[in-house]
Amino acid sequence: MAVKFFFALGACSLFLASLLGEGPSITPALALRPWTALLCLLAAVVFGWPERLAPFRDRLGIWLFDSGNIRFYGGLWLLAAALYSTAALGIYGGVPHLDDSVAALWQARVFASGRICLPLPENPEFFWVFGVLGANDNLGHQVGLYPPGWSALMLPGALMGIAWISTPLLGGALVIAIARVAAELYGERTGRIAGMLALSSPIVSGLSATMLSHVPTALFLTLALLAVLRLTASGRLRHGAASGAAWSAAFLCRPLTALVVGCVLALWPLAHMRAALRAWKAILLALLFAGAGAGTLAAWQEITTGAASVPGHSIGMGRRGRFGFVRLDWAREHTPEAGLRFTLNRMTTMNTQLAGWPVPALALAILPFLLGTGRWREAWLLAPWLALLGVYAAFWYWEECYPARYTFCGAPPLIVLAARGLASAEEVLCARGPRRRAVARCALIAGMLFAVCAALPQNYAYAGTLLKDVELTLPRVIKACGLHNAIVFISAKGRLPTDGDEFNDFYASGFIMNNLDISGDLIFARDLKERNLKLMAAHPGRRFYRYVYFRDSAKAELFELASAPGGLVQTPVSIPPP
């Protein structure tokens, strides 16, 4: 009894802390789409309560919970991949939306060309972008700032010209992996509830539409978790190989995240020492595969930065890549107060983004502890997220584009816990009579309907505002004006006066449209004002344009440039309406 109370008290304390962050703790869809919420509730009651509809509910229940695994999970993956692919095209136009993913896609294209690095272009000052190391970093070549894992995963898509589809496909696989972990721990019914929760999770669906590395990292860490469970239970060598290989793949995408979560995963065999000793060969194989991943990253860094122990991140970010409560530069300092604020805000964000239900999501995740079924195993499932919260509290950057994405790799076990909590609550209510069984059924239907019909559309509408480093007007203007054999200088206006127009000129929008050797029919360069004359002189016979994007209105202006005795002369070019 005392143990149950201890776990319940800890879970309640965690939940209360998650309510202290800035912003709402319930999905904004509840306030912004109240009629949708009401309709979902009515539909749940109409379908879930009357006994005369029991035959229809039984048929649906058979398909959801008793159909074959291939049929159910195959359908779930197809549905998830289709949903995420539609969002990737409909919201982001099939292009990256942050410099991070621009750099990852660029590196995938380099891999597709059969190379690891590229030589520096002529006049490199016109072609630098954050995330690609080069002349500004005192290197004699160009290479991506980040580890190679995510770019390597995008390689097949890059070869086919559809790199954007990589994350949706892996996001669908993540949904299945979450379901299989839940099934491994708690049975098939809980596994399928977890799969449906993951499918409708706003944060899973949102990140699966981007080209960021969080989804593949979460997928491989979830697969590693599943393999660790099976390794300890069976001792088979294939599970040892799978756990080590999956962790290595995650490590080559996001090393720090994989290291933190990997330490938590290692607690499972340590807690089951007898089983682990019997499976020592499989564990040794897992460690060998994990070591291979670490060795691959060291070799990558030796080739790209010149030192096996120096990651590109430390070169490209400099002092801004440091962890800890330190002074970053003359204007910025990361303090414990800021770290605590970021942590509480990430917890609150997870409340709104994890499940998409009209309740704080962590209330679902702590249900096993409140119902008395939560023990050390459930605490272990909480631990990856808590560990990531602690580590990233020491990092100065607040991820304004998809807040809490740094802790996303701890979300899959939280979804497993939420599924376990819902299944346990259903069992408790079903044991207390038919009316309470109907209440449990209606609550489950209403929550799922609300997540799909209200939370997901609202989240995708919000995601449309997150094009932070890339804008979609440039390709339309280029096509509408019929530009060819030209150099287009990219600039932007409308940033806050304190930051200046150079702070984010959206050059990434043009950079990703260049071919790798910067020799195509159209070349996109940074607008360096009068220094543009230098690049113009190096490309005689081309036409030259200045493209100006206005951030506040999402509109653009185009000017044709020519050199004159007094410097540059620009002539407005009419842009046809869309």
C-alpha pair distances (Å), 435 with each of 176, 420, 431: 33, 22, 10
- Residue that finishes a domain, picked among 134, 161, 188: 161
Return all residues near 553 (Cβ < 8 A) that are at least 6 apart. Answer: 494
Based on the fold, state whether residues 69 and 108 are members of the same structural domain: no
What is the distance between the alpha carbons of residues 333 and 328, in angstroms, rounded to a whole number?
Answer: 5
> What is residue 497's predicted lDDT score, i.e. its pLDDT?
45
Nearest to 404 by CA among 358, 459, 441, 484: 459
Based on the fold, state whether residues 244 and 141 are members of the same structural domain: no
What is the distance between the alpha carbons of residues 334 and 319, in angstroms, rounded to a whole number?
Answer: 12
Based on the fold, state whether residues 144 and 194 are members of the same structural domain: no
**Residue 578, both tokens:** 């869309």
DSSP-assigned letters across all residues of 494-546: ---TTT-TTS---HHHHHTTS-TTS-SSEEEEE--GGGHHHHHHHSTT-EEEE
Nearest to 349 by CA among 420, 283, 401: 401
C-alpha pair distances (Å), 187 with each of 64, 69, 75, 547: 14, 13, 20, 58
The helix/strand/coil state of 341 is helix
**Residue 258, both tokens:** 């994989």
Its pTM stands at 0.94
Based on the fold, state whether residues 277 and 183 are members of the same structural domain: yes
> What is residue 498's predicted lDDT score, i.e. its pLDDT?
47
Based on the fold, state whether residues 110 and 37 are members of the same structural domain: no
Q: Dihedrals φ, ψ of 378, to 5°?
A: -70, -35
39-97 pLDDT, tens digit per residue, is 988 988 888 888 888 888 788 888 888 888 999 999 999 999 999 999 999 888 888 98
> What is residue 386's predicted lDDT score, i.e. its pLDDT?
97
- Quote the Cα angle for 506-211-522, to 5°: 45
Based on the fold, state whether residues 210 and 231 are members of the same structural domain: yes
Q: Residue 207: which region, alpha, beta or left (left: phi > 0; alpha: psi -120 to 50)?
A: alpha
Average pLDDT for runs of 10 along the chain of length 578: 84 94 87 87 85 81 84 95 94 87 96 96 93 92 95 96 96 98 96 95 94 97 97 94 98 97 96 93 96 97 94 86 80 88 95 92 94 90 97 90 92 97 86 80 88 88 75 91 95 58 75 93 94 93 93 87 88 89
User: Structural domain of residue 114, as residue ranges?
Assistant: 100-161
Based on the fold, state whether residues 150 and 251 are members of the same structural domain: no
CB 520 within 8 A of CB 485: no
- Say how many C-beta atoms besides its own lie within 10 A of residue 41's C-beta: 18
Based on the fold, state whether residues 104 and 75 are members of the same structural domain: no
What is the distance between the alpha carbons of residues 142 and 117, in angstroms, rounded to a whole number?
Answer: 6
DSSP-assigned letters across all residues of 354-367: SS-SSS-HHHHHTH
Q: How many domains does the chain have?
A: 3
191 part of a folded domain: yes
Tell me the residue type at 518: I
- Say how many C-beta atoms besides its own lie within 10 A of residue 491's C-beta: 18
The helix/strand/coil state of 141 is strand
